[in-house]
């Protein structure tokens, strides 16, 4: 029998649209092959469609251990899936059934290919092998008791419970915290190596997979742009697309790019505390930000880095006057800025935000020109606004005639540029960038980061750059502040932070990003 | 959605435009032809016990039912949107208080309230739709409040705050236009509901009073003679069913379309 998974000239159509065309690759037993590329490049479609797990229709050929999957009736395809393959999906929060315990999930998974019901020892061993602490206790727990990383471990244990020879992982770590990503990825690779399993890995995050995969396929708009060993593509990509993709992915090992000079201190935040009441009555409070202090100089970029829930966005919003603040002092050039409700349009002009989700930050009913001119409504007469809006569109690299469009017709990158133009129209001194590039494609995100750099040089802007991506912070920021559990645990110039990290949180983040 | 709306429009146009063209109005009594059948003596649908033209009464009844429904739905829209938007936007204790008031009013038995109103203020058509609107706005307020709370957390609202937009401008320019779609969809579902309540009240004799008529009264009258003259029940009943079904279908389609557009 021919072992392995061989895909030849795969083509996937959804209704009349060709999503993937002419994709060929081989997955030998024990090998790890990664499909990478921008979103919409057809990575997931290529991986899932031959197994009947997408909306697309496959043609061409996909042969698993000698069985042709394309055109196989659903009943037999389902058998092939159940017996040979384990699947790990992106969303650990929704991939477990809420009313079933971990034990039930594992039993169901182990019995899917006709295996016998596993006993407790076997299930404990499964959980142990995926690095879940206190496995005996976990068996009786429901999914809501587990954290995101723990759920992903349970999902991996379930995917492996029936002893598959192939693992298909669709963005297995993208929804997880930065610090966890490396850990889960290393776990997947270790399990593959130990069991001689082959893995087909789908990911948009090149930096996260290039050390783990044996071979790499870069997809561009449904076609293979480049393929080869991961090492070779990572070090010297042959095609233009490969080069751009590699350059757009920040790494801790890259040379530090130069940054513009900075001026005198503009913003000072001292001893900021933020807390929220816990949901429900009389349950006390959540301390979101505890005693955080920072400064920002003219033309400086300060990165605020930390895991999700570390309080970095909350602190940013408190500084910009967009969130509550229990105590503390925010001052601008030595003069105290009032609390949220008291800030005037002139105060607010100084600090303008750009948010993570570009489409949600534009009012769907407004035209692009009106959106951009919104801050001008309170500062400039109506006749000038449209001209200013069009100028700003040009400044952020969009055509002037975008002014009449509605947000729904914009791509993610274009929408984010419109949001940036709106922030600029207030003529700000400082931008608050709240994960402003993390919802974007690598190439698009790189363009937006470059835009921030240009705006900083041209306008002398100060940037407060909130991100979970340490490598990106290293590339873009003069100084980096690391947050954990609401506290700033370390704040240092970038060279110093990486040369001599002090706090445990910093060390963990560096290890996870490396 | 289109065929349903066309049927509603046809019924509404007929109710508005046709009565003046008829030789008899809805209260004129034709002494020569009392209680005649279909197509007799120039009465297309015949006459009732008192010799009144059934076609004129059907059309006028439809008109009354529709106008009561529209007026009550507008009352519900105005109070409901204002109440829900303020509760959702202000939040905190104000929201708690306002929504507990809504919960409290929900708990009142609706028929009891209407009968009480009739007893205290006497019977009038104004009271009927005020009474109905008074009940219907509660659900509208809840729907709008939920929408406003969801919208309030969208980043474009924060961006408006950063742009220096005062809270009231944000509410008027960002929140309300984005609530409008949902409010209109719910309004379209309120109208058939009010049609049903009005007919029910009139059927019981609590709603519109003679000599004015409504679909509910006509159904009531028709039910009394359905063994001899089934058309007297089936015609107003049929119009009522068509109106309610078509308005509901149109409202639900509109709501689904909004939900699709939001994706």
The overall average pLDDT reported for chain B is 84
**Does the pTM of the predicted model rise above 0.95?**
no
In this predicted structure, what is the pLDDT of residue A281? Answer: 62
| Distance between A426 CA and the closest CA of chain B, angstroms | 7
Q: Which residues of B touch A374 (CB under 8 A)?
A: 159-160, 163, 165
Query: Does residue B46 surpass a pLDDT of 80?
Result: no
Q: Flag whether pLDDT at A280 surpasses 70.
A: no
| Percent of chain A whose pLDDT exceeds 90 | 39
Choose the closest CB to A365 out of B162, B165, B177. B177
Tell me the helix, strand and coil percentages in chain B, rounded to 5.
75, 0, 20
**Residue A31: band (very low, low, confident or very high) from pLDDT cuts 50, 70, 90:** very high
pLDDT of residue A2 exceeding 70: no
Mean pLDDT of A160-189: 86
Give the pLDDT band (50/70/90) at residue B262.
low
pLDDT band at A261 (very low <50, low <70, confident <90, very high): confident
User: Which residues of A fall within a CB distance of 8 Å from B161?
Assistant: 322, 348
- Per-residue pLDDT, B143: 92
Contact B156 A360 (CB under 8 A): yes
For A436-472, what is each residue's pLDDT tens digit?
988 888 888 999 999 999 999 999 999 999 998 888 9
User: Residue for token digits 């393929």?
Assistant: A227
Query: Closest partner residue to A375 among B156, B164, B174, by Cβ?
Result: B164
Taking residues A410-420, report their average pLDDT.
92
CA distance A358 to chain B (A): 9
- Would you state the pLDDT for residue A461? 93
Compute CA distances A411 → A265, A387, B15, B195, whole Å: 37, 23, 49, 45
Number of H helices, E strands in chain A: 19, 20
List strands edge to edge, sheet with A462-467.
A351-354, A430-434, A462-467, A301-306, A479-484, A487-493
Residue A301 above 80 pLDDT? yes
Chain B contact residues (CB < 8 Å to A):
154-156, 158-165, 174, 177-178
pLDDT at B156: 93
What pLDDT does A363 receive?
Answer: 92
The ipTM value here is 0.77
Question: Averaged over A475-502, what is the pLDDT?
Answer: 92
Smallest CA–CA distance, residue B21 to chain A, in Å, is: 45
Å between A18 CA and nearest CA of chain B: 23
For residue B186, what pLDDT is reported? 87
How far apart, in whole angstroms, are the C-alpha atoms of residue A245 and residue A238?
A: 11
Q: What is the DSSP string of A206-225?
A: HHHHTTT-SEEEEEETTEEE
The structure tokens 């040369």 sit at A499
Neighbours of B9 (CB within 10 A): 11
* CA pair distance A128, A122, nearest whole angstrom: 10
Residue A135 token pair: 């496995």
Residue A208 has pLDDT above 70, yes or no: yes
Interface of A with B (CB under 8 A): 317, 320-322, 344-346, 348-349, 351-353, 355-357, 360-365, 374-375, 377-379, 419, 422-423, 426
pLDDT 10s digits, A331-351: 999 888 888 888 888 888 899
B163/A378 CB distance under 8 A: yes
Give A23's contacts (C-beta < 8 A, 6+ positions apart): A7, A9, A10, A11, A42, A46, A60, A217, A219, A222, A223, A224
């Amino acid at each position: 029998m021919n072992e392995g998974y061989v895909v030849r000239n795969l083509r996937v159509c959804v209704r009349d649209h060709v999503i993937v065309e002419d994709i060929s690759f081989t997955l030998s037993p024990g090998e790890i092959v990664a499909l990478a590329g921008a979103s919409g490049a057809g990575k997931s479609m290529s991986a899932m469609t031959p197994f009947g797990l997408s909306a697309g229709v496959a043609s061409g050929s996909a042969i698993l251990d000698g069985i042709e999957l394309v055109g196989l009736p659903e009943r037999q395809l389902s058998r092939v899936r159940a017996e040979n393959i384990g699947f790990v999906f992106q969303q650990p929060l929704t991939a477990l059934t809420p009313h079933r315990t971990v034990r039930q999930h594992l039993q169901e998974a182990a019995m899917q290919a006709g295996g016998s019901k596993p006993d407790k020892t076997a299930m404990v061993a499964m959980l142990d092998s995926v690095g879940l602490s206190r496995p005996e206790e976990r068996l009786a727990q429901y999914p809501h008791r587990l954290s995101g990383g723990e759920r992903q471990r349970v999902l991996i244990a379930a995917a492996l419970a029936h002893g598959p020879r192939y693992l298909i992982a669709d963005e297995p770590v993208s929804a997880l915290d930065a610090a966890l990503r490396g850990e889960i990825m290393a776990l997947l690779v270790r399990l593959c190596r130990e069991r001689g399993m082959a893995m087909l890995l789908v990911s948009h995050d090149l930096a996260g997979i290039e050390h783990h995969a044996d071979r790499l396929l870069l997809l561009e708009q449904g076609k293979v742009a480049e393929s080869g060993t991961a090492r070779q593509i990572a070090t010297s990509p042959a095609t233009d697309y490969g080069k751009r993709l590699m350059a757009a992915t920040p790494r801790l090992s890259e040379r530090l790019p130069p940054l513009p000079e900075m001026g005198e201190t503009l913003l000072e935040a001292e001893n900021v505390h933020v807390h929220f009441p816990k949901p429900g009555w009389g349950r006390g409070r959540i301390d979101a930000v505890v005693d955080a202090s920072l400064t920002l100089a003219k033309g400086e970029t300060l990165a605020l880095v930390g895991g999700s829930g570390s309080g970095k966005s909350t602190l940013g919003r408190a500084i910009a006057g967009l969130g509550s603040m229990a105590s503390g002092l925010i001052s601008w050039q030595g003069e105290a800025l009032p609390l949220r409700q008291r800030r005037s349009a002139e105060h607010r002009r100084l600090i303008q935000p750009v948010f993570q989700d570009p489409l949600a930050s534009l009012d769907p009913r407004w035209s692009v020109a009106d959106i951009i001119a919104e801050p001008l409504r309170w500062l400039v007469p109506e006749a000038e606004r449209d001209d200013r809006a069009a100028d700003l569109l040009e400044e952020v690299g969009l055509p002037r005639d975008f002014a009449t469009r509605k947000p729904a017709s914009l791509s993610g990158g274009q929408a984010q540029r419109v949001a940036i133009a709106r922030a600029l129209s207030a003529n700000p001194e400082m931008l608050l960038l709240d994960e402003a590039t993390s919802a974007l494609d690598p190439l698009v995100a790189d363009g937006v980061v470059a835009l921030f750099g240009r705006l900083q040089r041209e306008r002398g802007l100060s940037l407060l750059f909130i991100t979970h991506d340490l490598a990106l912070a290293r590339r873009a920021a003069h100084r980096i502040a690391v947050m954990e559990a609401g506290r700033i645990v370390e704040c240092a110039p970038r060279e110093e932070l990486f040369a001599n990290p002090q706090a445990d949180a910093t060390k963990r983040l560096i290890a996870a990003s490396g | 959605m289109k065929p349903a709306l066309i049927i509603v429009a046809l019924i509404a146009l007929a109710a508005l435009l046709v009565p003046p063209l008829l030789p008899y109005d809805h209260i004129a009594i034709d002494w020569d032809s009392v209680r005649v059948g279909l197509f007799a003596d120039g009465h297309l649908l015949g006459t009732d016990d008192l010799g009144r033209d059934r076609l004129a009464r059907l059309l006028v009844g439809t008109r009354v039912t529709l106008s009561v429904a529209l007026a009550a739905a507008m009352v519900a829209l105005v109070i409901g949107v204002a109440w829900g938007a303020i509760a959702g936007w202000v939040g905190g204790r104000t929201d708690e208080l306002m929504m507990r008031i809504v919960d409290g009013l929900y708990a009142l038995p609706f028929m009891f309230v209407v009968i009480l109103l009739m007893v205290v203020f006497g019977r009038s058509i104004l009271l009927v739709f005020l009474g109905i609107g008074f009940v219907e706005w509660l659900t509208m307020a809840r729907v709008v409040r939920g929408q406003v709370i969801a919208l309030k957390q969208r980043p474009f609202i924060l961006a408006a705050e950063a742009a220096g937009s005062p809270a009231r401008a944000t509410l008027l320019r960002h929140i309300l236009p984005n609530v409008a779609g949902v409010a209109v969809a719910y309004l379209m579902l309120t109208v058939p509901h009010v049609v049903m309540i009005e007919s029910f009240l009139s059927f019981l004799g609590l709603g519109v009073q003679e000599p004015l008529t409504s679909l509910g009264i006509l159904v009531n009258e028709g039910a009394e003679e359905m063994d001899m003259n089934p058309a007297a029940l089936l015609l107003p009943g049929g119009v009522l069913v068509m109106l309610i079904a078509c308005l509901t279908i149109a409202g639900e389609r509109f709501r689904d379309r909004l939900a699709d557009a939001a994706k």
